[in-house]
Chain A
Amino acid sequence: MPGAIYAEGLVKTFGDVRALDGVDLDVPEGTVLGLLGPNGAGKTTTVRVLTTLLQPDSGRAVVAGVDVLRHPEKVRRSIGLSGQFAAVDEYLTGRENLQMVGQLYQMKAKAAKVRADELLERFRLADAADRTAKTYSGGMRRRLDLAAALVVSPPVMFMDEPTTGLDPRNRQALWEVIKELVAGGTTLLLTTQYLEEADHLAHDICVVDQGKVIARGTSDQLKAQTGGERVEVVVHEPDMIAGARGVLGRYGIAGRGPDEVSVEDHTRKLTVPVSGGAKLLAEVIRDLDAVGVEIDDIGLRRPTLDDVFISLTGHAAALTEEENGGPPEADGRGRRQTKETAK
């Protein structure tokens, strides 16, 4: 039986640009799927198709057990959408916004008002309930937008870049809200450009690039694909680098000795791929001490999703942030060039 969100072979072209090039998804009920990718990768287009806003050229999608293309009106009763542009009416108050959305979900005026008050309380907006959304901060607007998507407690939620443009504190706060939501059993599809966010919130991750899913799995599985863990050491004095290198060479996973250790002279940082986890660190520290190497810092580094992204696409996710807002064609070309230089 397909999951709460299921898609098969979604294709959508805009002119010459293939925004979706055969996207398949399967999100089991009550789980979170993170759709991770740079701008123009096809994340938003996927969400627009699944939320009935956009007709795909081909493919099939089922949300909450209903065929999206055949019965879009039924799908709309079971979904909540929270977009990256925080779609609330800025001239209405927070309460008026939520009440309106409730009524448009076909609630009676009174029930919509009661529900609006509940949500305002829950999203810490009760004090600002009677102020127009125009006066809200970015974080408050996002919370109001999210509340609007939750008016009928839909079983399936879509969030398109929920924290883009938020400062770290507000991002953290929104993450807590999202986690609570998922703990309550909601199935969630979340798009993000932030690797950290996907790592933090999603059970499963699909990495998308140029309209295709290029990798999928749990955060740990994706990291394992990229390679294992490394020990990083920063020594106190430049003349200690050679000694440290000799020690670290003994722990190299390939057994090639000091050759396996990479050195950054200006930061006095040495890195070596290892296996064995945290208990290895104690041994390394003891051995370094034995040869008289003083260290400023030592750590076991596991690959981040950033590393995953680079190894999968040949470019860092962050690179494309500079291309924000550019036309999709330019976006595609820009990325291809980056890839070639990287090779």
Chain B
Amino acid sequence: MSTMNDSLVIARRNLIRMTRIPEMILFGLIQPVMFVILFTYVFGGSMSIGGSTDPDVYKNFLMAGIFAQTVTFATAGAGAGIADDMHKGLIDRFRSLPMARGAVLTGRTLADLVQTALTLLVLAIVALIIGWRPGYAEPTNFGRVMAGFGLLLLLGYAFTWIGALIGLSVRTPEAATSGGLIWLFPVTFISNAFVDSSQMPSWLQPIAEWNPFSATVQACRTLFGDPGVSPSDAWPMQYPVWASLIYSVLIVAIFRTLSVRKYRRADG
């Protein structure tokens, strides 16, 4: 049996499902677009980034944060999908088949990756329309911008494995959705995503700077040439691309191991 083959069969199945529930894709798109617009126009005028209160600076600062937050929201989708499969008895069927053990979860996370990429594409277009300009603060190029999106996708993929573990641990898809979202708010807000972390209370600053989520945001700002790159001495802020890669790979390694073990023992 082949893990890759089985994973692709399951990924295909989940992608077909997503096309049969188009409203889910639509809501997944509306939400981040709404965040972009709300943050840009509601907060934009009163935020100070690197000493500048120009709304244009905040707009360009904000996008990397919104992109990163959007990819992490895939956690809830993965969790709800897997919890739903458990609930409906599909996981029992899969577990009784001679297929690779990790494939049900890998397939789901791969399908979510495709959806995340699609969401990110739409979001980037909206961002460009309302005035995000890569290279606004520092020069950049196409390769660096793509590398930034690559790191975002990797972060999203890593977080869907956390979602997988949540989905396997709760009883209902509803619980997986809220359980997949609740902890994301502190993770994405105690970070450099929406504000300049140097303005946070001093006890909160190190948490924000060492937050895995912040590393990816900082890496994207650096690669996109956005304003507001944190001058902090914290290691993840100094070497954000490496930090982002290491964090994401670690999250995948840890949560994939835990999830697959839980899947094998799933007692329904």
Q: Which residues of A have CB within 8 Å of B56?
A: none
Q: Is the interface of A mostly helix, strand, loop or mixed?
A: loop
Question: Given the known A-B contacts A89-B90, A91-B17, A132-B20, are A100 and B96 also in contact in the complex, defined by CB atoms under 8 Å?
Answer: no
Q: Which chain A residues in 44-66 approach chain B with CB under 8 Å?
A: 48, 51-55
Q: Is the CB of A100 within 8 A of B13?
A: yes
Contact residues, A7-59 vs B (CB, 8 A)? 48, 51-55
Chain A 61-77 against B: per-residue CB contact (8 Å), 1 yes, 0 no?
00000000000010011
B98 contacts A76, C-beta separation under 8 Å = yes
Return the chain A residue nearest B90 by Cβ.
Answer: A87
- A81 and B96 within 8 A (CB): yes
B9, A83: Cβ atoms under 8 Å? Answer: no
A243-280 at interface with B (beta carbon < 8 Å): none
Inter-subunit contact A87/B98 (CB<8 Å): no
Set B17, B89, B265: member contacting A92, Cβ < 8 A = B17
Cβ-defined contact, A53 with B95, below 8 A = yes
Q: Which residue of B lies closest to A101 (CB)?
A: B97
Q: Any chain B CB within 8 A of the CB of A234? A: no
Interface: B204 (CB within 8 A): no
Q: Check A96 for interface membership: any CB of B closer than 8 A.
A: yes
Cα A101 to Cα B90 in complex, Å, equals 11
A105 and B97 alpha carbons, distance in the complex (Å): 6
Q: How far is the CA of A52 from the CA of B99 in the complex (A)?
A: 13
**Chain B's nearest CB lies how many Å from the CB of A162?**
13
Residues of B within 8 A of A148 (CB): 93
- With A89-B13, A92-B13, A96-B16 in contact, do A54 and B97 touch (Cβ < 8 Å)? no
Assembly CA distance A90 to B13 (angstroms): 11
- Bound CA span A87–B104, Å: 15
Scoring B residues 167 to 210 as 1 if CB is less than 8 Å from chain A, else 0, what string do you get? 00000000000000000000000000000000000000000000
Partner of B92, one of A81, A104, A105, A132: A81
Mark B73-93 against chain A: 1 for CB-CB distance below 8 A, else 0: 000000000000000111011
Q: Are B88 and A87 in contact (CB under 8 A)?
A: yes
Question: Given A54-B267, A91-B16, A104-B6, do A81 and B93 touch, yes or no (CB 8 Å)?
Answer: yes
A83 partner residues in chain B, CB cutoff 8 A: 89, 92-93
A63 to B201, CA, bound (A): 64
Contact flag A53-B17 (CB < 8 Å), given A101-B97, A105-B97:
no
- Chain B interface residue number, banded: 20 to 34
Check B98 against A53 for contact (C-beta < 8 Å): no
| From B9, B88, B96, contact of A51 by CB (8 A) | B96
How far apart are B210's CB and chain A's nearest CB, in angstroms?
Answer: 40
Say yes or no: is A79 at the interface (Cβ < 8 Å to chain B): yes
**B16 contacts across to A, CB distance below 8 A:** 91-92, 96
The one of B5, B21, B89 in contact with A87, judged by C-beta atoms closer than 8 angstroms, is B89
B268 interfacial by beta-carbon distance below 8 Å: yes
Q: How far, in whole Å, are A77 and B17 apart by their CA atoms in the complex? A: 27
Interface string of A95-111 (1 = CB under 8 A from B): 01000110111100000
CB contacts (< 8 Å) of B12 on chain A: these are 100
- Give complex CA distance A104, B104 in Å: 10
Q: How far is the CB of A16 from chain B (nearest CB, A)?
A: 16
**Is B94's beta carbon under 8 Å from chain A?**
yes
With contact pairs A73-B98, A76-B98, A101-B97 given, residues A87 and B92 touching in the complex (Cβ less than 8 Å)? yes
What residues of B have a CB within 8 angstroms of the CB of A76 in the complex? 96-98
Report chain A residues within 8 Å CB of B96. Answer: 51-53, 76, 79, 81
Task: Output the residue of A55, A76, A132 with the most chain B CB within 10 A.
Answer: A76
* Cβ contact within 8 Å between B9 and A104: yes
| Centre residue among B1, B89, B92, B96 by max chain A CB count within 10 A | B96
11 contacts between A and B (CB under 8 A): A53-B95, A53-B96, A53-B267, A55-B265, A76-B98, A83-B92, A91-B17, A92-B13, A92-B20, A103-B5, A105-B98
Give 13 A-B pairs besides A92-B20, A148-B93 with Cβ atoms closer than 8 angstroms.
A48-B92, A76-B96, A79-B96, A81-B93, A83-B92, A85-B89, A87-B90, A87-B92, A90-B88, A96-B13, A100-B12, A101-B97, A105-B97
Interchain residue pairs A-B with the least CB separation, the first 5: A87-B89, A85-B89, A76-B98, A87-B93, A91-B17
**Which B residues have a C-beta under 8 Å from some C-beta of A?**
1, 5-6, 9-10, 12-13, 16-17, 20-21, 88-90, 92-99, 265, 267-268
